[in-house]
Amino acid sequence: MSTQLIYSMFQDVLFPASEQGAEDDGSDVLQLRRLKRYVPLPETPVRSGSIVVFDLETTGLDSKADRIIEIGAIRLNGFNEVTQFSSLVTTDIELTDDIIKLTGITPDMLKGQPPIASVIPEFLSFIEGSILVAHNAEFDMSMLKAACSRLGIDLEWPCFCTLKMARTFLAELENKKLDTLAAHYGLKFESRHRAIGDIKVTVGVLAGMLQQDATQLTNWSHFQPYTV
């Protein structure tokens, strides 16, 4: 059970609320911040260990103003799929026509879906004990950390980026977009710009790089140049 601080005259000074946090936690009292952290040992195996490849769909690119509308993730152990996590997320932020066109997610699809305050704890439980992976992970981690922060959670989690890896190991490619990497490894999307569809291709891209181009990377210490 989380500890709560009853309002006092010093609350606003000591614990200033975020600009748009009220609609996210639905609480009239301010929760004390808590740290959610995982620190793998340098020798932790990545190829044979537990990793979670994840992807977010959002209302835009600004981690402060925009919100998550879909979280997807696939847990792998030794690159064998163990389980999936997938959830749409309701939000008060209006979806633009560009986002609807890009993702295929409509306002009607988000009606009745759980709020981020319900989805984040489930997702954090799902990733427990696993290293995170994403393509262009700086964006996904910034959105994830911002969502956690609005709920009073400071997230410190290991994550490495297949985009950063591609810049090193596939420097000859014209660009390092996920579509380009998919074509390079002969992969096809089930659904583009939907979380699980993008994740499955990211898994294939990561496997391709580790099997063909980055064979020297094995343990967590080897992935440090590609972390975010």
Active site residues: 193
Contact status, residue 137 vs residue 206, Cβ threshold 8 Å: no
| Beta-bridge partner residues of 74 | 53, 84
Judge contact between 57 and 68, C-beta under 8 A. Answer: yes
Amino acid at 93: I
Please compute, for residue 31, the number of CA atoms within 13 A of its CA located in the half-sphere on the CB side: 21
Give the number of other CB atoms < 10 A from CB of residue 224.
Answer: 10
**Do residues 218 and 47 make contact, with C-beta atoms less than 8 angstroms apart?**
yes
CB atoms within 10 A of CB 174: 6
3-state helix, strand, coil in the chain (%, to 5): 35, 20, 40
Give CA–CA dist 66/63, Å, rounded.
6
d(CA 66, CA 69): 9
